[in-house]
Structure 1
Amino acid sequence: MARPFAESFYHSRAWERCRLGFMRSKHWTCERCGAPATVAHHKVHLSPKNINNPNVTLSWDNLMAVCTDCHAELHRKNQTMKFDANGDPIPPR
């Protein structure tokens, strides 16, 4: 589920076209495990600071085709990280 600041982006025509083209280019195959992919994952996570930067939001270089299980795993790894109010990671002490 998208965070509130990103809701309108994920419903935009630009994102829908970008996602569809990217996923087709990856043959709807997970780049981690080879299962059917359903998610275009942003490698650099979206934040309020970069949500309007198409070099982050719409760049195929920042996307990875993944299945739902691998997407959950990618985000589980980030659960140990803390984020500030802007969505930026807080470095560990």
Structure 2
Amino acid sequence: MAKAWARKLYNSKEWKACRASYIESVHGLCERCGEAGYIVHHTIYLTPQNINDPEISLNHELLEYLCLTCHNGEHMGNHEPITAQGTQFDAEGNLILVGRGFERK
């Protein structure tokens, strides 16, 4: 969910056009792993100070299309896991057991 100060950009026709053209330019694939992409990531993190600068917020050179896993790794990559070993969240947000060849809810 976008932060309150970023909502104006993400709801703008300029961002929507930029986002669509960028996704098309990378053929809809995650630029890190090649899976289906999910989110256009700004390689220079947006702040209240730079969000209105189109050279940063709307610049294809500063964007990267990522799948959810790669995007989460970008933002949480240097942190401890948020679940206990052998568990993870499924696509619906339910905690499930994983490993040893089984997965159950």
Paired positions, count: 80
Pairing of 1:1-93 with structure 2 (within 5 A): 1-77=1-77
For the residues of structure 2 that align with 1:2 and 1:46, how far apart are their CA atoms? 11
Whose radius of gyration is greater, 1 or 2?
2
In the superposition, the TM-score normalised over structure 1's length comes to 0.81
Return closer, same or farther for 1:2/1:64 CA change in 2, 3 Å cut-off: same
Backbone CA RMSD of aligned residues:
1.5
Ranges in structure 1 where 5+ consecutive residues have no aligned partner = 81-93
Flag the structure with higher strand content.
Answer: 2
Once the 2 structures are TM-superposed, how far is the Cα of residue 31 of structure 1 from its aligned partner? 0.6
Return closer, same or farther for 1:79/1:63 CA change in 2, 3 Å cut-off: farther
Once the 2 structures are TM-superposed, how far is the Cα of residue 58 of structure 1 from its aligned partner? 0.1
Q: Which amino acid aligns with 1:56?
A: I
Return closer, same or farther for 1:65/1:17 CA change in 2, 3 Å cut-off: same
Runs of 4+ in 1 over 2 A off after TM superposition: 77-80
Q: Which amino acid aligns with 2:35?
A: A
Q: Which amino acid aligns with 1:32?
A: R
Cα deviations by residue, 1:1-43 (Å, 9 ceiling, x for unpaired): 1111001110100000000000000000001100000211000
Q: Which has the higher contact order (CA 8 A, sep 6+)?
A: 1
1:46 match: secondary structure: coil
Flag the structure with higher helix content.
Answer: 1
